[in-house]
Structure 1
Amino acid sequence: MFDKVLVANRGEIAVRVMRACEELGIDTVAVYSEADKHGGHVRYADEAYNVGPARAADSYLDQEAIIEAANKADADAIHPGYGFLAENADFAARVHEEDGLTWVGPSSESMERLGEKTHARRVMEEADVPIVPGTTEPVEDVEEVTDFGDEHGYPIAIKAEGGGGGRGMKVVESADEAADQLESAKREGEAYFSNDSVYLERYLENPRHIEVQIIADEDGNVVHLGERDCSLQRRHQKVIEEGPSPALSDELREEIGDAARRGVRAADYFNAGTVEFLVEEEDREPGELLGPDANFYFLEVNTRIQVEHTVTEELTGFDIVKEQLRVAAGNELSIAQDEVDLDGHAIEFRINAENAADDFQPASEGSLDVYDAPGGIGVRVDDALRQGDELVTDYDSMIAKLIVWGEDREECLERSRRALAEYDLEGVVTIIPFHRLMLDDDEFRAGTHTTKYLDEELDRDRLVDAQEKWGTEGVLEAEGEAEAEVTEREFTVEVNGKRFDVSLEEEGAPSIPTPETGGGADGGGGGGRPQGAGGSEEESGGEAVEVAEGGEAIEAEMQGTILSVNVEEGDEVGAGDVVCVLEAMKMENDVVAERGGTVTNVAVGEGDSVDMGDVLIVLE
């Protein structure tokens, strides 16, 4: 077994991996960006190394910095968690080639073979796993898209080769949309995965999203640990996952599990992974299940551990992360297929810092003024933040995961109701009100919802009502008289990149000046950004931008990266025109002009990182 593992990730998944390591007697190493210097995963690890500034491309995605930190720490393995470099075959190969380092995951060859969707489709088709009608070679021209539509009908899904979770996927409803959607899918593929290759699939109108957890060793043993139903999604991003699926009959469940094992074995795959399927929903009577004749199709393989692996762990009592480490160390699986026994029902609720009533808009700031997680029988919380922590908005919006287990689905739903009501969290807006709403939702309780339910069927007014009833504001107002201020002076010392923390507290002392509070000893001198357009100056990336009287500054509504700029100075735009595209929270967001005018200033360019409130375009 390993002596020391570097976890190349952050937040709750980094802590999750570190906990497994600790139980196996393995020391842990954290890496962190400047934005995460006080992160929970940094506190938990045995040692930590700074790998760069807040921007992920300059820190968590910096392969050289990650490997350098591993070597400095004398780590003998790297666990990537999920996201960031977890599915990067080139990085896995670099780790493998590094003397004394082991990659905790599948081989780079398997990752490359299954990470590219067209290749994965060919592998699965050869293994007699059903696949959705589509192309098995990359698509370059818009004519290929329209020809496919003529043959198979619309809508069509254009998907990035390296995509997943809805990233790099565009739906074409008609031939008129083909050119724009092809360009957008290729652009997202390049931005997210440095790969603009795309392929086509027939877009299933009413599917369920079913995934099978597998684990395999290098001796060819492959085990599946049951399925998870991830059909409750918004814009292809999962929000609630559960297992077993409330929609599948035992016969269909067995067929899908066997197909997953066949496909993984044919790909010479080892370590943990997830084989994802789409199952076509049918008109069913209440209580009726999808039988063995239901259509199901291979979607993709995630060559890593999943966010929702916790559901499977609660059903099986099997620690998937520990098994990943054992397999990476060269051991055989500790469990056989006939020993897998699913017990009860489990649901995972993603506790995201988002406002579901505002189209799941992610929070731009906040701190956990109150944080008291639920407990009791059958309740598990995976998190990294603690009360008093500031929300880091440079990455994804997940604060924690609440996982609830019950003897059956009904008990699990009722226990979930209790656990969500117990979750006391103030200072940051979350989607807990949305989760509480779903527990009273007829479609969800009946298990008849599909991947389209949230985006196309759910009444938006119900989300607003839930937020008003159960929601928290972003910032708590101070109550009563203020206590004597305690100034905490924190110092982070780095020696050869390794982090050491020193903290001092002093009651009644003046605060320490920071770039945010200004240079005065009392922290004064700061001020908000000037508002309005009466000949004011506004900020873009820290620089002043002139806005003439009567003009309009189009600002970023969230932190993100500019994918494209569609206008130039002097262009005329109308109300509703898209002036640029902003990538945030793994999705493209069109930035539109609220009124018409002439572009007088383009303050950003392709690839620029922007914060909420930054000026993007100025109109006159």
Structure 2
Amino acid sequence: MFEKVLVANRGEIAVRVMRACEDLGIDTVAVYSDADKHAGHVRYADEAYNVGPARAADSYLDQEAIVDAALQAGADAIHPGYGFLAENADFAALVEETEGVTWVGPASESMETLGEKTKARKVMDAADVPIVPGTTDPVETAEEVRAFGEEHGYPIAIKAEGGGGGRGMKIVESEEEAEDQLASAKREGEAYFDNDSVYLERYLEDPKHIEVQIIADEHGNVRHLGERDCSLQRRHQKVIEEGPSPTLSDDVRADIGEAARRGVGEADYVNAGTVEFLVSEGQFYFLEVNTRIQVEHTVTEEITGIDIVKHQLRVAAGEELDFSQDEVAIEGHAMEFRINAENASKSFAPATGTLDVYDPPGGIGVRMDDALRQGDEINGEYDSMIAKLVVYGKNREECIARSKRALAEFEIDGLVTVIPFHRLMLEDETFVDGEHTTKYLDEDFDKSRLVDAQEQWGPEHDSSESEEEERVEREFTVEVNGKRFDVSLEDVGGAALAAPASGSSGRAERPESAQSSGSEAETPVVEGDGETVEADMQGTILSVDVAAGDEVAAGDVLLVLEAMKMENDVVASHGGTVSQVLVSEGESVDMGDVLVVIE
């Protein structure tokens, strides 16, 4: 077994992997960007190394910097978690080529085959796994999109080859949208996966999204651990996952599990992964393979009792799986709720702020996977996830009842979250009956209910202003050869307290997050008395689609704002003439900044 593992990720998944390492007696190494120097995963690790600036492309996606950190720390393995470089075959190959360091994941060759969706479709077709009509080669031009639409009809899904979780996926409803949606999908693929290659699929109407967890070792053993139902989605992002599926028949359940095993076996796959399917009218179609651990792996762990992350580490160390397929027993029901800093009543707009109050639930059947603590800040640099709430019951009814209780106990103040949305869904007849599909939230759900839920169950205030006694804090961070050490001095009307250096475990005490002092930046002048369009969130301007003098109508897209790796259209609330455009492409903006003025 390994002696020291570097986790090439951040947030709750980094802590999840570190906990598995700790159970196995393995030391842990964190990597962090400038924006994450006080993050929870850094505090949890035995040691931590800075790998670059806040921008992910310059830190968490810097392959050489991460491998250098592993070598400097003396780590003998790298676990990628999910996201960032987790499905990057080039990074896996770099680790494989690094003497003394083991890649905790499938071989780079398998990742390249199954991680890129067009190649994966060819493998599944060869393994007699049903696939959705689509392209098996990358698409480069809008003309190719239009030609596919003429042959197969609309809508069409444009998908990033390296993508997952809806990122890099755009829906084309007509030939007029082909060029814009293709460009948008390629931008998201490049931004989040460092790969702008995309492919096409016929977009199925009202399917169920079912995924099968698999794990395989280098000794030829392939196991599936049952399925998860991930059909409740908004903008193709999963929000609640559960297992087992409330709608699959026993025959389809057996067939889809064996299809997943057959498909990954065709690719000589080793380690954990997920085979995703769309199910429509009793027929399932291969969607993609995620060559990594997934956000919702917790659901499967709860209903099987199998620690998937520990098995990832054991398989990577050359061990054989210690259970047969017949020994995999699915018992009870589990749900995972992604607790994101988003405002569901405002189209799930990402939110930023400080966790003035963070008091998660507990009790029987309740599991929390998180990295943040009270006083920590969500700054908008990365994704909006605060935590994952996982609830188990002996059946779906008990699971829902416990979930209601757990969500009611969950107390967060200082920024808006999706907890009111989750509480609403547990009262929603369509969801409770298991009749929801991937389109339910976006197309059929009455969104006015989200406003009511936010008013009923949201925090009394979302500002980050603390009502606690005034505190004065000074934090000193020292980096020696990139390794992080820090001391925090804090005065709360009494003696200052010193935090331990992070070279030892940071679990005993937690330094408070640094207070943002801000700077007096030059603010553009808004002229005249027109209506202003302001930023609803912190982010980066990807494109500006209007200029001064343009006539716009209500609903027209004015610009595209990227926040937490998602593209958000900023639209005009009313018609008029654009009198001022106060931002440009590539510029960073804060919540409340004026973007456009319309007379």
Fold shared by both chains (TM-score > 0.5) = yes
Structure 1 residues 26 and 469 mapped into 2: Cα distance closer, same or farther (>3 Å)? same
Indicate the RMSD between aligned Cα atoms, in angstroms: 2.4
SS in 2 for 1:475: coil
Distance 1:478 1:121, change over 3 A: closer
* 1:603 matched to 2:588: no
Q: Tell me if the contact between 1:210 and 1:277 (Cα under 8 Å) persists in the aligned partners.
A: yes
Question: 1:575·1:592 contact (CA, 8 Å) conserved in 2?
Answer: no
Instruction: Report Cα offsets for 1:543-583 as digits up to 9, x if no partner.
Output: 43233334666543322333333346x66342444333222
- Answer yes or no: is the 8 Å Cα contact 1:215–1:223 preserved in 2: yes
From 452, 456, 468, give the equivalent of 1:469: 456
Three-state SS of the structure 2 residue aligned to 1:544 is: coil
Q: Which has the larger radius of gyration?
A: 1
* Match runs of 1:194-273 below 5 Å: 194-273=194-273
Give the one of 330, 346, 352 matched to 2:318.
330
Q: Report deviation, 1:150.
A: 2.8
Determine the C-alpha separation between the residues in 2 that align with 1:602 and 1:471.
Answer: 33
Judge conservation of contact 1:166–1:236 (CA < 8 Å) in 2: yes
Residues 487, 510 of structure 1: 8 Å contact kept: no
Please identify, of 211-220 and 148-157, the stretch whose mean Cα deviation from structure 2 is larger.
148-157
Q: Does 1:166 align with 2:176?
A: no
CA deviations on 1:161-209 (whole Å, 9 max, x unpaired) are: 2222222222222333333333333333333334333222111111000
Flag the 1:517–1:327 CA change in 2: closer, same or farther, 3 A. Answer: closer
Partner of 2:47: 47
Change (3 A) 1:504 1:159: closer
Q: CA deviation at 1:443?
A: 0.8
Asked if 2 retains the 8 angstrom alpha-carbon contact of 1:370 and 1:424, the reply is yes
Would you say the 8 A contact 2:191–2:565 is kept in 1? no
Alpha-carbon distance in 1 for matches of 2:162, 2:389: 29
Partners in 1 of 2:253 and 2:538 — Cα distance?
41
Could you tell me which of 369, 373, 376 is aligned with 1:382?
369
Amino acid at match of 2:226: G
> Following the alignment from structure 2 to structure 1, what is the Cα–Cα distance between the partners of residues 75 and 466?
46
Q: Could you tell me the percent identity over the aligned residues?
A: 74
Q: Deviations over 1:89-133 (max 9, x none)?
A: 111111111121111111111111112111110110000000001
- Report the CA distance shift for 1:615/1:497 in structure 2 as closer, same or farther (over 3 A): farther
1-side partners of 2:449 and 2:580: how far apart? 41
1:302: Cα distance to partner?
0.5
Pairing 1:494–2:479 present: yes
In the TM superposition, what is the alpha-carbon distance from 1:157 to its structure 2 partner? 1.6
Cα deviation, 1:33-60, whole Å, max 9, x if unaligned, reads 1221111111111011112222211211
Does residue 301 in structure 1 map to residue 289 in structure 2?
yes
CA 1:557–1:32 in structure 2 vs 1: closer, same or farther (change >3 Å)?
A: same
**TM-score, with normalisation over the residues of structure 2?**
0.91
Supply the distance in 1 between the matched residues of 2:466 and 2:185 (Cα, whole angstroms).
47
List gaps (5 residues or longer) in structure 2.
497-513
Q: Secondary structure at the match of 1:443?
A: helix
Q: Which amino acid aligns with 2:478?
A: V
**Corresponding residue to 1:505 among 477, 490, 496:** 490
Letter aligned with residue 588 of structure 1: E
| Cα 1:13–1:245 shift into 2, 3 Å | same
The alpha-carbon distance between structure 1 residues 604 and 552, as it changes in their structure 2 partners (threshold 3 A), is: farther
Residues 14, 196 of structure 1: CA spacing in aligned structure 2 closer, same or farther, 3 A cutoff? closer
Q: 1:159 to 1:324 in 2, by over 3 A?
A: same
Out of 580, 593, 596, the residue aligned to residue 559 of structure 2 is 580
Which residue is 2:301 aligned to? Answer: 313
Tell me by how many angstroms 1:385 deviates. Answer: 1.1
Change (3 A) 1:145 1:27: same
Aligned residues: 579
In structure 2, the CA distance between the partners of 1:599 and 1:213, relative to structure 1 (3 Å rule), is same
**Cα distance in 1 between the residues matched to 2:598 and 2:445:** 37
- Tell me the CA shift for residue 250 of structure 1: 1.3
Counterpart amino acid of residue 321 in structure 2:
L
Distance of 1:140 and 1:497 partners within structure 2: 41
- Alpha-carbon distance in structure 2 between the residues aligned to 1:124 and 1:225: 19
Unaligned runs of 5+ in 1: 283-293, 519-525, 528-541
Secondary structure, aligned partner of 1:545: coil
AA at the equivalent of 1:134? G
C-alpha distance in 2, partners of 1:478/1:190? 39
Letter of the aligned partner of 1:574 in structure 2?
V
Please name the residue that 1:530 is paired with: none
Q: In structure 1, the residue corresponding to 2:524 is in which secondary structure?
A: strand
1:85 equivalenced with 2:85 (yes/no) = yes
Secondary structure at the residue paired with 1:376? coil
**How has the CA–CA distance of structure 1 residues 477 and 59 changed in structure 2, closer, same or farther, with 3 Å as cutoff?**
closer
Q: Quick one: which of 384, 393, 400 aligns to 1:406?
A: 393
